[in-house]
Amino acid sequence: MGLNGAGPGFWTESGQLVGAVGRAMGVTLRNLFRKPVTVQYPDVQRPYPDRFRGLLALVYEKDTGEEACIGCRLCEYVCPPQVIKVEMLKAEKRNYAKTFTLELYACEFCELCVQVCPTDAIVMMKSFDLAAADRRDLLLDKDRLHALGLSFEPSWATGNRLRDMQAPPKPARTAAKADAKGEAKEPAA
């Protein structure tokens, strides 16, 4: 029995507790002088990764400055939750979208609309910055979608690029066929 009736277990546990507090304070002190890894968003923004895909937007054609959307409605047909609605406006030289709405609050960000767009008119932006307190603020019409297209940097992925990526490489296919034929001709050992 030790001081004031405390047993040896008491002193062992007290020593362990003091050691643990000391180690924890050591970690705190070491981190107190480290450079912070957080940034003061939105005043400071980190660069987005090359393949980041966020908000959806409509863009203008680079050469002519005209709206790139031809109102074909492919994006509307392919969208799984059916959040896109497009009305086509027929014109003499080309067609346009008379109206274009996208309910971003129900979007799955699957990118299918981007993948099917023949004119690369709908793209994802390098931003997720569209927080809203009211769902109606996330009902995007054609003007808002174009404004988003002008406000943020578009992601690398456009419909034409994504479709090119999905096409199987022809030389590889030919080589595989040749290999298969070669194996078939080989006599059994």
Beta bridge partners of 125: 154
Query: Residue 78: which H helix or E strand, with range?
Result: helix 74-78
Q: Which is nearer to ligand SF4, 108 or 179 (CB)?
A: 108
Query: CA 155, CA 157: separation in Å to the nearest integer?
Result: 5
Q: Which is nearer to ligand SF4, 16 or 82 (CB)?
A: 82
* Residue numbers 113-132 binding ligand SF4 by CB under 6 A: 113, 116-117, 119, 121-122
Q: Which is nearer to ligand SF4, 34 or 90 (CB)?
A: 90
For residues 123 and 89, the answer to whether their CB atoms sit within 8 Å is: no
Binding mask 34-63 for ligand SF4 (x = CB under 6 A): ----------------------x-------
> Judged by CB under 6 A, does residue 157 bind ligand SF4?
no
SS3 content of the chain, % helix, strand, coil (to 5): 40, 15, 45
Contact with ligand SF4 (CB under 6 A) among 59, 86, 125, 157: 86
